[in-house]
Amino acid sequence: MSAPRLIVGISGASGAAYGIAALELARAAGVETHLVVSRSALLTLNQELSLRAADLVGRADEIHPVADIGASIASGSFRTMGMLIAPCSIKTMSEIATGVTSSLMSRAADVVLKERRRLVLMLRETPLHLGHLETMSALTRTGAIIMPPVPAFYTKPQSLSDVVRHSSARALDLFDIDTGAVKRWSGLKDALGGGAD
């Protein structure tokens, strides 16, 4: 494997920009990306970013149709760093948690878990009921990482793009991909001018 490989999934939850940013950041960091997009995500991409399926060409090294259960990323013998689903819908999370592999999205995630590779879910839903929380707990026990995209206000973002890029870059951090886009915490500055109490 010449370059590290990462599977990126974009599900139908709001926040399609996170997946697009992750693809851009990973590519700039020299990571080979394999993209799978759900049917609902195509609607969200168009609604939120005015992107169509044809606009995704060239944003990933390879795009796999969501119905293609025979794709390379559906097999554990296809070596990857793991999979990032950004954003991750409750539906997609629930399919993965229950072992339902009716689409390439959930199948690829299931393969990542069974091979003990990293699975990061940028879950986009609020508020959460007990069923959601129990599903997240079950996935965490299985080895997945639940990472809701929470803005880091200490970075003093100047735009929505800054917020999205930072969250996506932090998700890539979990795969040890340093994009150079993360503003690292360097300690609390003494804003009050006094000693620490």
User: Is 188 within the bounds of a domain?
Assistant: no
User: Is 129 within the bounds of a domain?
Assistant: yes
- Tell me how far CA of residue 50 lies from CA of 38, 42, 53, in angstroms: 16, 10, 10
Range of the domain at 73: 5-173
Write down the pLDDT at residue 2: 74
User: Is 194 within the bounds of a domain?
Assistant: no
Write down the pLDDT at residue 1: 47
Q: Is the peptide bond before 127 cis (omega within 30 degrees of 0)?
A: yes
For helices 90-98 and 130-142, angle between their N-to-C axes, nearest 10 degrees: 50
Instruction: Answer for the pair 45, 138: CB distance below 8 angstroms, yes or no.
Output: no
Number of domains in the chain: 1
User: Is 192 within the bounds of a domain?
Assistant: no
Q: For residues 105 and 67, give the distance between their C-alpha atoms in angstroms, rounded to a whole number.
A: 9
Write down the pLDDT at residue 194: 54
The one-digit pLDDT tens for each residue of the chain (197 residues) are: 478 999 999 999 999 999 999 999 999 999 999 999 999 999 999 999 999 999 999 999 999 999 999 999 999 999 999 999 999 999 999 999 999 899 999 999 999 999 999 999 999 999 999 999 999 999 999 999 999 999 999 899 999 999 999 999 999 999 999 999 998 888 887 656 655 55
Instruction: Answer for the pair 119, 81: CB distance below 8 angstroms, yes or no.
Output: no
User: Is 123 within the bounds of a domain?
Assistant: yes
User: Is 95 within the bounds of a domain?
Assistant: yes
Sheet holding 32-37, edge to edge: 62-64, 32-37, 5-10, 82-88, 118-123, 145-146
User: Is 182 within the bounds of a domain?
Assistant: no
User: Is 183 within the bounds of a domain?
Assistant: no
CATH number for the domain spanning 90: value is 3.40.50.1950
What is the Cβ-side half-sphere exposure of residue 109, based on CA atoms within 13 angstroms? 33
CA nearest neighbour of 120 among 150, 89, 143: 143
